[in-house]
Amino acid sequence: MMDWIRLKRVDIFNLQNVEYGTITISPRDNNEPVDFKADVLGIYGQNGSGKTTFVHAMGLLKKILNGHSLRDEALPYITEGKEEAGMMAAFQLSVSGTMYYTEYKVMLTKEKMDGNAEDGEKGPGVYVSQEELKVSAFDGTKWEKKHRLIAQDQGKEIVFSPQKLAKEIIGEKNDRLINLLVAKRLARRQYTSFFFSTDAFPLLAGNGGTVLGRIFKALQAYGRRYLYVIDTRGWGPINMNAGLPLYFRVENKKNKRLAAGAVFFRLDKPTVLPKELYEPLKKVIAKMNPVLGELIPHLQLELKDMGEQVMKNGKEGMALEAISIRSNSKVPLRYESEGIKKIVAILNMFIAAYADPSITLVVDELDAGIFEYLLGELLAIFESSGKGQLIFTSHNLRPLETLQKKAIVFTTVNPQNRYIRLKNIKPNNNLRSVYYGDIQLGGTPESLYEKTNNMAIEYALKRITRPVDKTEGPAWHIDRD
């Protein structure tokens, strides 16, 4: 049986405006056999109520599992007035024929600048202060009791616990103990995870022959190969018509090598890229075009070779321009609409998540610039016949009418309970209408909308725009003299 991994649940603590929130990604019971049906999850709610916070949390998780530094990345995300934040990600996975349920919890702590900070001249950062991994195995008939497999605390001198596991990994090898102590110290100095740092990971995971090794390798692979997070920073260049981030994933089935990431195409002139990227990108475009032509009738994409060029680093590169083709008419992609460019940017990852049960694709503001009927149809198709996981935030309510009720999560005004699903929704209920009704009339355990005062808004607008006196302009007028 093939190996796979699925995100089941995410808990968030003290990130931005979420003091606590939990979202179940896949509501199916762990005891049920995994059928690789798609998990689609839309997060809806008032502006500033925690939708993008979830996206940021998933971005942090990817960095942690990849062993990347959180020094500057995480500081703005910790809730104002709090000294630490964290998250717990639960997974169901199958490795070498054995199925596991595992919970990975990580805590992030603000660095105190008391003269003992690791990097005081740069100001405070955020380091991974605690990590914990709990696991339960499935024996074919039932799940064993969940237990703590490994934990580490940067505030304690011991490398990790429990002591029994430490003895198994370290044994009588003093050099291995020293190497792990150094790795833990380096993780603190470099603001990375200890578990997934380049120094500690090989010593803890080994060759993957133990339960710890198998799960560690699966989680690292998830961060590197299967979790993709696209936040609103990727849409900025598209909105300004300055560039197009093309998110891609190409896997060689023979040697299991993977090329994945994002290539930034300038829209004002050809983009110079390393020559070795040209063939993978051609494969990406070839894979996208059949689907693209169905989404936007008769539209195809092409990379026009504008010739070889030496890059700034001295290596050989190729100048490429993204071209759209309609009825044999070719024009630069920059002249297409914002919505088309956005579809082009994420389409390859959408296709990958549709086909691969282990992929989780997280997209912030998926609806921006995309025709609402097309958005609803795309999500319904993914839900009905896809295999992977698609998590998105949106303000467009069309998906509330096309997706199953369990596929929608709403944010609340309570920072200590940010995410809920609406209950007692009958099959013939229109979730969009129910949502509007709950906003206006209440009826949910948590309020879904912090009401605005129309009269106060109108008064504020009139006050700021009325003339101060007969001789002056409006209050917002700036005297250029």
Q: Which DSSP state fits 323?
A: E
Count of H helices and E strands in the chain?
A: 12, 18
Q: What is the pLDDT of residues 308-364, one digit of tens each?
A: 888 888 888 899 889 999 888 899 888 888 889 899 989 999 999 999 999 999 999
Q: What is the pLDDT of residues 32-48, one digit of tens each?
A: 556 688 999 999 999 88
* Tokens found for residue 100: 């596991």
How far apart are the C-alpha atoms of 412 and 44, rounded to whole Å?
A: 10
Classify the phi-psi angles of 241: left when phi > 0, otherwise alpha if psi is within -120 to 50, otherwise beta: left
How far apart are the C-alpha atoms of 385 and 37, rounded to whole Å?
A: 7
Q: Are residues 313 and 291 in the same domain?
A: yes
Give yes or no for residue 175 having a pLDDT over 60.
yes
Residue 320 lies in a domain: yes
Using a 10 angstrom Cβ sphere, with 0-12 exposed, 13-18 middle and 19 or more buried, the burial of residue 79 is middle
Q: Are residues 176 and 293 in the same domain?
A: no
Contacts of 132 (CB under 8 A, 6+ apart): 103, 104, 105, 106, 148, 150, 151, 152
Residue 259 lies in a domain: yes
Give yes or no for residue 479 having a pLDDT over 70.
no
Q: Are residues 407 and 374 in the same domain?
A: yes
How far apart are the C-alpha atoms of 406 and 396, rounded to whole Å?
A: 17
Q: Which DSSP state fits 140?
A: S
Q: Which helix (H) or strand (E) holds 317?
A: strand 316-326
Q: What is the pLDDT of residues 85-116, one digit of tens each?
A: 999 999 999 998 899 999 999 999 998 765 44
Domains in the chain: how many in total? 2
Q: Are residues 148 and 53 in the same domain?
A: yes
Other residues' Cβ atoms within 10 Å of the Cβ of residue 339? 17
* Residue 481 binned pLDDT confidence (cut-offs 50, 70, 90): very low
Residue 23 lies in a domain: yes
Q: Are residues 175 and 251 in the same domain?
A: no
Q: Mark which of 348, 375, 393 sits at the end of a domain.
A: 348
Range of the domain at 265: 245-348
Residue 239 lies in a domain: no
Residue 355 lies in a domain: no
Q: Are residues 19 and 125 in the same domain?
A: yes
Residue 297 lies in a domain: yes
Q: Mark which of 348, 377, 403 sits at the end of a domain.
A: 348
Whether 435 and 400 have beta carbons less than 8 Å apart is answered as yes
What pLDDT is attached to residue 124?
75
Contacts of 250 (CB under 8 A, 6+ apart): 258, 259, 260, 280, 283, 284
Share of the chain above pLDDT 70, in %: 91
Q: Are residues 273 and 389 in the same domain?
A: no
